[in-house]
Amino acid sequence: MSILIKNVLLKDKIVSILIEGNSIKKIATNVGSSADKIIDGSDKAVFPSFFNAHTHAGMTLFRGFGDDLPLMEWLETKIWPYEKYINENDVYWGTRLACLEMIKSGTTFFNDMYWMFPAAAQAVEDSGIRAAIAAVFIDSFEQEKANEQRKQNQRLYAEMSKYSDRIMFCLGPHAPYTVSLHSLEWIRDFSIENEVIIHMHLSETENEVKEFVEKYGKRPFEFLDDLGFLSSKVIAVHTIWLSDKEMNIIAERGVNVVHNPTSNMKLGIGGDIFHYRELKERGVNVCLGTDGAGSNNNLDMLESMKFAALLQKFHYSDTTVLPVREAFDMGTVNCANAFGINAGIIEEGKLADLVLVDISKPKMTPRHDILSNLVYSSNGECVDTVICDGKVLMENRVVEGEEEIVSKANEVAFEFMERKDMLDG
Ligand SMILES: [Zn+2]
């Protein structure tokens, strides 16, 4: 299968792009005119598609459920009691909804941590995008639960050959306050042995860091470093409350960090913000995530790029911090690199993961700086066409099966909440 995108704007040049199989074969002013499918690129600009480095896709079912509550009250009264009643079918449709929303806003990869791995993986498979999926690993410091979690991860890892290359297995220790030391050691060993990525929430709130220091006598990254846990295989999510020493450790070990500006602001984690400038000075690879729809409430990466840039400028009282190019890289190539995916830039030989943006829209006019228009002026709605792995997933904003996905997701969201209310009161 080949696709030819004719006369499209790439940076400041009009080019044509030939896609063969799942990768970009040629980019030139003239690449001939024969292909299985021709896409007219006039009035469109091409960009790499977006990479969402942290989300809980199935949580789209909780969108708008329990907003504006304190973090712990939200989790304890609105999320955890209801999640007990979620089944595979719910997670499947919740994840399909997340994938649909991501495709419609230009995202073709997400790093996921949620329940019912097989249902999420099937939803990704059926949606045509890419994902790194981790089953939430929580042992609550109980030996029996720890054994169950280990067995589950071993089983899921052994089953990976049944999925396409678009799906990657990750380990998902939830956070240091929900996972025991023994399990962290097991996760470390499993990651080293199988070269598997570890996806973990770290140092999101001041309180969790305080409690960690009281319990273990060290700050989280110092402790994990002593454990031999940290490497470039670690995707550390949030990393707000960091000491200088911890930032040095993160840089030295090549740990990838993920900033989630919208979720941080909405959950009022306050007092401190993501230390972009200090981490950048140390050469740390910084990625960008939306977090789950429960705490965002959308999965729009362009919006998160803008919020990330604005939040840094506001915090440092410095307009030069986190310029638009760096915000865009956080949501594309930096994440692709962290996961070893040969994408995130438009170049010959790269995977054909890209979006065509409608530049005839009012928000994209005038065209002094097309990237600035994309990140600061627009949002995911400007994306017209999405290609992932050499396949067209959206054209002229139409995604196959959209109506069914929206209606099924709406149905299951209310069903499991009713199940909970009936059985649990
Ligand atoms: Zn999260």
* Span from the CA of 293 to the centroid of ligand 1 (angstroms): 10
Report the percent of the chain where pLDDT is more than 90: 93
User: For residue 393, what are the contacts with CB-CB under 8 A and spacing of at least 6?
Assistant: 103, 108, 127, 128, 129, 386, 387, 399
Residue 29 predicted with pLDDT over 80: yes
Instruction: Calculate the alpha carbon distances from 234 to 139, 154, 277, 364 in Å.
Output: 20, 19, 21, 37
* Span from the CA of 113 to the centroid of ligand 1 (angstroms): 8
Maximal C-alpha separation, the chain? 67
* Span from the CA of 101 to the centroid of ligand 1 (angstroms): 18
What is the pLDDT confidence band of residue 70, given thresholds at 50, 70 and 90? confident
Per the CB < 8 A criterion, the answer to whether 364 and 357 are in contact is yes
User: For residue 124, what are the contacts with CB-CB under 8 A and spacing of at least 6?
Assistant: 95, 99, 130, 131, 133, 166, 167
- What global pTM score does this model have? 0.97
User: Which residues are registered as beta bridge partners of 28?
Assistant: 16
* Span from the CA of 237 to the centroid of ligand 1 (angstroms): 7
* Span from the CA of 398 to the centroid of ligand 1 (angstroms): 29
pLDDT, position 206: 93
* Span from the CA of 392 to the centroid of ligand 1 (angstroms): 29
Mean pLDDT of 349-355: 98
* Span from the CA of 94 to the centroid of ligand 1 (angstroms): 16
Mean pLDDT of 251-279: 93
* Span from the CA of 199 to the centroid of ligand 1 (angstroms): 10
Residue 425 predicted with pLDDT over 70: no
Could you give the CA distance from residue 21 to residue 1 in angstroms, rounded to a whole number?
A: 6
* Span from the CA of 216 to the centroid of ligand 1 (angstroms): 23
* DSSP 8-state code for residue 33: S
What is the pLDDT confidence band of residue 71, given thresholds at 50, 70 and 90? confident
* Span from the CA of 422 to the centroid of ligand 1 (angstroms): 28
* Span from the CA of 170 to the centroid of ligand 1 (angstroms): 15
Q: What is the per-residue pLDDT across 268-316, written as a single tens digit (0 to 9) for each? A: 887 788 999 999 999 999 999 999 999 999 999 999 999 999 999 999 9
Q: What is the per-residue pLDDT across 85-124, written as a single tens digit (0 to 9) for each? A: 999 999 999 999 999 999 999 999 999 999 999 999 999 9
pLDDT, position 269: 84
Q: What is the mean pLDDT of the chain?
A: 96
Tokens of 196: 């598997």
* Four-CA torsion 215, 221, 225, 228, nearest 10 degrees: 80
The answer to which of 33-37, 253-257, 345-349 has the lowest mean pLDDT is: 33-37
* DSSP 8-state code for residue 77: I
* Span from the CA of 263 to the centroid of ligand 1 (angstroms): 8
pLDDT, position 271: 75
pLDDT, position 246: 98
* Span from the CA of 291 to the centroid of ligand 1 (angstroms): 5
Kindly list the structural domains of the chain, giving each domain's residue range(s) and its CATH number in brackets, ordered by start: 2-48+351-395 (2.30.40.10), 50-338 (3.20.20.140)
Ligand 1 (ion): which residues have CB within 5 A?
291
Instruction: Report which of 46, 97, 62, 55 is spatially closest to residue 288, judged by C-alpha positions.
Output: 55
Q: What is the per-residue pLDDT across 267-281, written as a single tens digit (0 to 9) for each? A: 988 778 899 999 999
Residue 57 predicted with pLDDT over 80: yes
pLDDT, position 247: 98
Report the percent of the chain where pLDDT is more than 70: 100
* Span from the CA of 298 to the centroid of ligand 1 (angstroms): 13
Per the CB < 8 A criterion, the answer to whether 374 and 49 are in contact is no
* Span from the CA of 6 to the centroid of ligand 1 (angstroms): 40
* Span from the CA of 21 to the centroid of ligand 1 (angstroms): 34
* Span from the CA of 74 to the centroid of ligand 1 (angstroms): 14
Q: What is the per-residue pLDDT across 366-408, written as a single tens digit (0 to 9) for each? A: 999 999 999 999 999 999 999 999 999 999 999 999 999 999 9
Residue with tokens 């040969």: 342
* Four-CA torsion 127, 130, 134, 136, nearest 10 degrees: -50
* Span from the CA of 377 to the centroid of ligand 1 (angstroms): 27
* Span from the CA of 201 to the centroid of ligand 1 (angstroms): 6
* Span from the CA of 149 to the centroid of ligand 1 (angstroms): 19
Mean pLDDT of 49-78: 94
pLDDT, position 6: 97
pLDDT, position 270: 75
